[in-house]
Amino acid sequence: MTGTGRRAVLDEAVRLAVRDGLLDSPAPVIGLLDVDGIRGTVARLHAAFESPAPVLHTFAAKACGLVPVLRLLAESGMGCEVASPGELAQALAAGFTPDRLVFDSPAKTVEELELAVDLGIAVNLDNWQELERLDAVLAARPGTGGTPRGPVGIRVNPQVGAGAIGAMSTATDTSKFGIALRDPGAEDSLVAAFARRPWLTRLHAHVGSQGCPLPLIAAGIRAAYELAERINAAVGRPQIDSLDIGGGLPVNFDGDDESPGHAAYVAQLREDVPDLFDGRYSLVTEFGRSVLAKHGMVLTRVEYTKSAGGRPIAITHAGAQVAARTVFMPQAWPLRVGVFDADGVPKSGPGVVQDVAGPCCFAGDLAAEARELPLMEPGDVVALYDTGAYYFSSHFAYNSLPRPAVHGFRLDADGRARFAIVREAQTLAEIVAESGDAYADSLVGLVDTTAAADRRADGDSQSPDRSSDPDSAEVSACAS
């Protein structure tokens, strides 16, 4: 689908969501996901990688860890990459089988490694200490014969440099991820580690995500490929049989087009690493944002409008709690904004420079600043586009604002919409429960217990010992 066609689908979904009351109070902010749009991107992803090399495309669960979304992706032929026990539990609940899961994390516990070994999940180890820890886990499980059931790889940092967003760049000289290849002796140590462990069969490299250009991503993958070739030559056998090339395809946040797209990504790899697809290595990918971002949006009502310093401001219910990255790093994560009237019809009229503010109690809570948009008024609907990944699924609980409801939708050939709930809006009772309501008296009880003990101690210290006092004995005798 073209960018223009995608925008038309999303705008029609706004109208129908308003018509069906999905944005009515007490839910003045929601997330919407285009089911057919997601499925179309997944199909294009698979088509782009067609080659003699077998490929497992896994979805990075951190981009949208909602079970119905993960189930849709599983049914569309995806695997799942997880980086925590919570994401693993979500992926299993969504129906992913262990052979279609990959476990990445720079801080895996012994228990997490044991679980991965027991389930037969593929694991990418992050560092030398974790490799030694896995050695010990396998040695303590005689039934494994010292060999894990699932593929095990080592993540390497190719140290090829940073993209435009430092926080999203994972292949810098000092990145916290993986074993740094250019550090003295690193490659020789990796060759020795693989030679001693025939069950190490994978290398993993991931350069970064948003802000990383395709040539930079390809350079990191080329470094991993060349290392695999060196290791296999050194051990005298094709021990490394798979390469996890990560994800990180940037998303176009400036327009409707899905660019650069997975086909352009593969074209760059074919140019820079031409033998990658010859079939000697199976491949694993870990795309997240590029699968979902363009197919989702956050919708919110305009509650109030005002003016400050001559600039109009629209106060909405979508701020840092759903768009934390945009609010705190607006230059790196700008979002396109659509304005609709109270019936969900796109507003027209001259553009007026104005701010789109959220409900959080700090001055910088702006989803968009100084944007030229049709003048907004109370009751209008604001759409934040390209928010299908990370935004409404990675909630920031500032001011105890509730997590919004999320709905998936499909439009049929006649323009009729069907909506399906993905997640209900969080209730106030759930917020209170999460904030420790069951333990409301715990700290007061601790104070009361301590105070009682202090009173007893004070009483003991202030009561004189009169056992040898003649006056005391006299008083006791009179009392008796």
The single-letter DSSP state of residue 387 is: -
In this prediction, residue 451 carries a pLDDT of 75
Same domain, 312 and 385: yes
Cα–Cα nearest to 134, from 106, 102, 98, 110: 110
Domain containing residue 142: CATH number: 3.20.20.10
Give domain status of residue 79, yes or no.
no
Please give the pLDDT value at position 159: 82
Considering the domain boundaries, does residue 309 fall inside one?
A: yes
Do 309 and 376 fall within a single domain?
Answer: yes
Distance CA 141, CA 109 (A): 16
Tokens 């909602």 sit at which residue? 66
283 and 298 part of one domain: no
Same domain, yes or no: 267 and 118: yes
Q: Is 398 exposed, middle or buried (0-12, 13-18, 19+ CB in 10 A)?
A: middle
309 and 385 within one domain: yes
Q: Structural domain of residue 151, as residue ranges?
A: 97-287
Are 281 and 303 members of one domain? no
* 110 within domain boundaries: yes
Instruction: Read off the DSSP letter of residue 346.
Output: B
Q: Which of 287, 313, 338 is the last residue of a domain?
A: 287
Within-domain flag for 392: yes
What is the Cα–Cα distance from 218 to 401, expressed in whole angstroms?
41
Long-range CB contact pairs, 115-122, < 8 A, 24+: 115/85, 115/88, 116/150, 117/141, 117/144, 117/148, 117/149, 117/150, 119/150, 120/148, 120/149, 120/150, 121/88, 121/150, 122/150, 122/151, 122/152, 122/153, 122/202, 122/284
**385 assigned to some structural domain:** yes
Tell me: do 239 and 334 sit in the same domain.
no
Domain boundary, last residue among 258, 287, 316: 287
CB 405 within 8 Å of CB 389? no
Tokens of 27: 């839910």
Residues contacting 104, CB < 8 A, separation 6+ = 81, 82, 83, 124, 126, 155, 204, 286
For 137, other C-beta atoms within 10 Å of its C-beta total 18
* 399: CATH: 2.40.37.10
Cβ atoms of residues 358 and 319 within 8 Å? yes
Q: Indicate whether 327 and 270 sit together in one domain.
A: no
Residue 476, pLDDT score: 42
Beta strand pairing call for 381-385 and 337-340:
antiparallel
Reading phi first (left if > 0) and then psi (alpha if -120 to 50, else beta), residue 4 is in alpha
Nearest CA-CA partner of 126 in 149, 103, 101: 103
What Å distances lie between residue 56 and 74, 100, 101, CA to CA? 12, 8, 9
Q: Which of 419, 434, 449 is the last residue of a domain?
A: 434
Q: What is the pLDDT of residue 208?
A: 87
Give the chain's count of helices (H) and strands (E).
14, 18
Residues 133 and 174 in one domain: yes
224 and 128 both lie in a single domain? yes
Q: Is residue 188 part of a domain?
A: yes
The torsion region of residue 389 among left (phi > 0), alpha (psi -120 to 50) and beta comes to beta
The verdict on residue 321 lying in a domain is yes
* Residue 5 domain flag: no
Same domain, yes or no, for 267 and 304? no
For residue 477, what pLDDT is reported?
39
Q: Can you list the residues of the chain whose pLDDT is less than 70? A: 1, 461-480
Number of domains in the chain: 2
The β-bridge partners of 314 are: 305, 356
Q: How does strand 311-316 pair with strand 101-104?
A: unpaired
CB 228 within 8 A of CB 238: no
Q: Does one domain contain both 110 and 194? A: yes
The C-alpha atoms of residue 105 and residue 260 are separated, in whole angstroms, by 28
Q: Write down the pLDDT at residue 468.
A: 47
Look at the alpha carbons of 295, 299, 305, 308 in this order and tell me if their dihedral is positive or negative.
Answer: negative
C-alpha to C-alpha distance for 48 and 262, rounded to whole angstroms: 6
